[in-house]
């Protein structure tokens, strides 16, 4: 299974894995699964760090590569879906991640219940 992590899931996996359910931990550790971190999440982390909302003292790209996760670039094809995506959720980063998961037919792992309102494969 191919799984995109929502930004908070990625940060919890790094710093607070106890916040993740057993089901989510199992999916993260299962060898057949490929875990992706979107360039959208990197942008969100860096913007929040620049605003002082998040303290980041590491290079997320290096951490992703070291952890065995895969980087996933956000494409123009992913963005096209934003036009028709319902506004159940106003967070632009989350909306882009949802579109990316739908466009690439990937599961998305999040604790945000608003994700369940979309036609995405939520874990």
Q: What is the pLDDT of residues 65-118, one digit of tens each?
A: 998 899 999 999 999 999 998 888 789 999 999 999 999 999 999 999 998 888
Q: What is the pLDDT of residues 15-69, one digit of tens each?
A: 999 999 999 999 999 989 999 999 999 999 999 999 999 999 889 999 999 988 9
Cβ within 8 Å of residue 37, ≥6 positions away? 4, 5, 10, 60, 64, 69, 70, 71, 72
Residue 100, pLDDT score: 96
Yes or no: say if 3 and 108 are a contact pair by the CB < 8 Å rule: yes
The number of residues making up the chain comes to 123
- Listed residue (115, 118, 117) closest to 8, CA to CA: 115
Residue 118, pLDDT score: 87
CATH number for the segment(s) 2-122? 3.40.50.1010
109 bridge partner residues: 5
Q: Structural domain boundaries of the chain?
A: 2-122
Residue 89, pLDDT score: 79
The beta-strand segments (E) located in 25-122 are 34-38, 70-72, 107-109, 121-122
């Amino acid at each position: 299974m191919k799984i995109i992590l929502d930004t908070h899931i990625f940060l919890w996996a790094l710093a607070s894995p106890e916040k993740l359910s057993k089901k989510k931990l199992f999916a993260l550790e299962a060898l057949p699964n490929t875990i992706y971190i979107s360039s959208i999440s990197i942008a969100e982390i860096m913007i929040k760090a620049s605003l002082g909302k998040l303290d980041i003292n590491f290079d997320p790209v290096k951490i992703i590569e070291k952890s065995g996760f895969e980087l996933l670039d956000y494409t123009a094809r992913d963005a096209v879906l934003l036009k028709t995506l319902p506004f159940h959720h106003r967070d632009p980063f989350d909306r882009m991640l949802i579109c990316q998961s739908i466009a690439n037919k990937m599961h998305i792992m999040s604790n945000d219940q608003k994700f369940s309102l979309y036609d995405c494969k939520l874990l």
